[in-house]
Amino acid sequence: MQGDENRFKSWMQAREDTPPLGTWIMSASPIIAEAMGYAGYDWILVDMEHSPIDVAQTTAIMQALSGTPSEVVVRVPWNDPVMVKRVMDAGARSIMFPFIQSVEEARAAIAATRYPPQGTRGVAAMHRASRFGTVPDYLNRANDQIAVILQLETPEAVALLPEIAALKGVDAIFIGPGDLSGGMGLLGQIGHEDVQAALKAAAEAARDAGIACGIVGADVTSVRGYMEMGFSYVAIASDLGLLMGAAKTSVREIRGQAAPEVAGGVY
């Protein structure tokens, strides 16, 4: 909740040897989100891009997670300052922006998260982020607790990583392996050696640039591989991916059938 230290931001600055582990919330269910918050994840991302979750549902999910040990990240559906303003007023303070394609888009994303004069975030006197006006000196302190995560999802965007990472106000980069595979002409083939090489190169470029770089994997094997590549924070699958994987596996095992493949992550 706003007013306390943003642990996600601190983790991105520290870049410790053990990457913080997260997962995705896609189900739009506060109950499932709350349960996931007690499962042991360091951070949990509320995904507004690839799910039907709207601002009201995001608020309810953040409320459910506020009593759990997990830190909340919100991925907005697009680099839209109006949407950013609304989710931040609702209490989001670690924001992931999808599909950043240029330095200019990166600057616009950063500006949308900051009150003037550092940015363009609209000012309201009463909202959940300030604990309804009870956080002392909120307007002057809020900028310092915001974490901006910029998602690079194409070869062209990844090539700009050093320039984007150098911008003041960028706390972390996130590589989208699904879209990156598509941009490389290998749609859905995340395990392809060329895609894996590109992911490893991105992690190395981020390390050279001195910025945290994250990724999501569909299963334990892929996530461990990303950790070995040097990604500084990682996520495994999503609530729906984990649910469907366990559900289908149990059905097949009872019926004596081979377990099916289930896509667990959202990119």
All structural domains of the chain with their residue ranges: 7-254
Residue 260 has a pLDDT of 62
Q: What is the pLDDT of residues 29-72, one digit of tens each?
A: 999 999 999 999 999 999 999 999 999 999 999 999 999 999 99
Joined together, the tokens standing for residue 160 give: 């700009």
Choose among 198, 201, 211: nearest CA to 164: 211
Residue 218 has a pLDDT of 95
Average of per-residue pLDDT across 231-253: 96
Residue 3 has a pLDDT of 44
Catalytic residue among 7, 15, 50, 200: 50
127 is catalytic: no
Q: Return phi, psi of residue 203, to 5°.
A: -65, -40
pLDDT bracket for residue 79 (50, 70, 90): very high
Joined together, the tokens standing for residue 33 give: 């989100």
Average of per-residue pLDDT across 3-23: 92
Choose among 176, 211, 214, 219: nearest CA to 195: 176
3-state SS, residue 236: strand
Q: What is the pLDDT of residues 125-163, one digit of tens each?
A: 899 999 999 999 999 999 999 999 999 999 999 999 999
Residue 4 has a pLDDT of 82
Residue 258 has a pLDDT of 72
Averaged pLDDT of the chain: 95
Q: What is the largest CA-CA distance in the chain?
A: 63
Residue 246 near residue 235, CB atoms below 8 Å: no
pTM for the complete prediction? 0.94
Residue 194 near residue 186, CB atoms below 8 Å: yes
Can you list the positions of beta strands (E) in 26-141?
A: 43-47, 71-75, 94-97
* CATH 3.40.50.80 describes domain 7-254: no
